Amino acid sequence: MATSASVVVCAYSDARRPVLERALASLRAQTTPVAETILVIDHNEALLARARANHPDVTVLANEGRRGLSGARNTGVAAARGDVVAFLDDDAVAAPDWLGELLVAFEGVDVLGVGGAVTPVWPSGHDARWLPEEFYWTVGCSYRGLPGHGSSLRNPIGANMAFRRGALLRVGGFREELGRVAGFPAGCEETELAIRMRQAWPSGRIVHSSRARVEHEVDGVRVRLPYFVTRCWAEGLSKAAVEDRVGRAQALESERRYVVRTLPVGVIRGLGEAWRGVPGGLARAGAIGLGLSVTVGGYLAGQGLRTARAAAVYAAF
C-alpha cells in the first residue's frame, strides 16, 4: 500500500510564475501531507535562482536531462523518495483533498498509476464556447470520452497523475524524445510510459479517479483556433512516434473508440444544439471535424517521416 507521495512540479517560463505560486500554495494546503515537493526548472537559470530563494521548503532542482517536460519529470523522479510520485502542472491548482484521493486509489495492489480530473479555468474575456468538450485535451484538461471513476484507462492526463515510484524507475521513466518542449505542444509521453508499464506488468492497471481534482488555468492563447490546430497536428505527430516505439495496436487502442464512438456523438450533439439555437453548437460540431482531420494529418505526416528515416538508413547500407 502506498503511504507517502512526492509531488513533482516542472516549470520553464518566468511568465508563468504567478500561477506557479498558486500551484505550490495548493500543495502546502493539502489535507494529506506531501512528503516532499520537488520543483524542477527546465533550463532557466534566472527562474532557478528565484525559486530557490523564494521557496526554502521546496526541493528546487535544475533539469539534468534533455530540455523539455519529459527530462524535467525524470529529474524529479530520480530525486523523489515517496512510495508514489505525483505530478502537478505548474499552471494547475490542486483541491485540498487531491493527494489523499490519489493515495486512496493506490490501495489496489494492481494499480500502477492514477489519473485525476482536470477542470479548465478559462481566461477572463475569452469565449471558449466554440471548443468542444471532446477536445478539452488540447488545453490539458479532462475531456468527454474518459472512463468513469475507478475504471481503467490507457493513460492519464499529465497535469494530474501519479505512479508508483518503483514502477517508474523500473521502466526507465519518460522518453525524453517525446513530450512538450517550451512552447511546442507535443505530447504522448504519458501514453508511451503507461503502455510500457502495462507491458512490464500485464496484470497492472492505470485507473481514473474523478475525485482527485485539480483546476487547470488555461492561457488565453490556448483558446484560439491557431493553437487548437497546432496542438492537434502535434498530437498526430506524437501518436506516430509512440506507434513507432510500442506498436500500432496499443498506441491507438483508446483512439479507435474515441473516433468511432465519442466524436460522432459529439458532432450530432453540436448540430442538435445548433438546431435548438444553443450558442456555439455549430462551431463545436465543426471544430470536432477540423480537430480530427488535422490530428489524422499530423499522424500521417509522422508516419511519412518514419518511412523516410527508414529509407535513409537502408540507403546508407
* Ordered domains of the chain (ranges, CATH): 5-316 (3.90.550.10)
The pLDDT assigned to 312 comes to 37
DSSP state at residue 259 = I
How is residue 229 written as a grid cell? 490546430
β-pairing, 160-164 with 84-88? Answer: antiparallel
Q: Is 48 helix (H, G, I), strand (E, B) or coil?
A: helix
The pLDDT assigned to 59 comes to 95
Strand order across the 205-217 sheet: 59-62, 36-41, 5-11, 84-88, 160-164, 111-121, 205-217, 92-94
The pLDDT assigned to 310 comes to 35
The pLDDT assigned to 251 comes to 53
**Using CA atoms, how far apart are residues 63 and 56, in angstroms rounded to an integer?**
18
Q: Is 211 helix (H, G, I), strand (E, B) or coil?
A: strand
Amino acid symbol at 207: V
The dihedral formed by the CA atoms of 170, 39, 238 and 147, expressed in degrees to the nearest 10: 80
Q: Which residue has the cell 518514419?
A: 306
The pLDDT assigned to 311 comes to 35
Which residues of the chain fall below pLDDT 50?
A: 307-317
- The values of phi and psi at residue 3, to 5°, are -120, -15
Picking from 147, 133, 136, the residue whose alpha carbon sits closest to that of residue 273 is 133
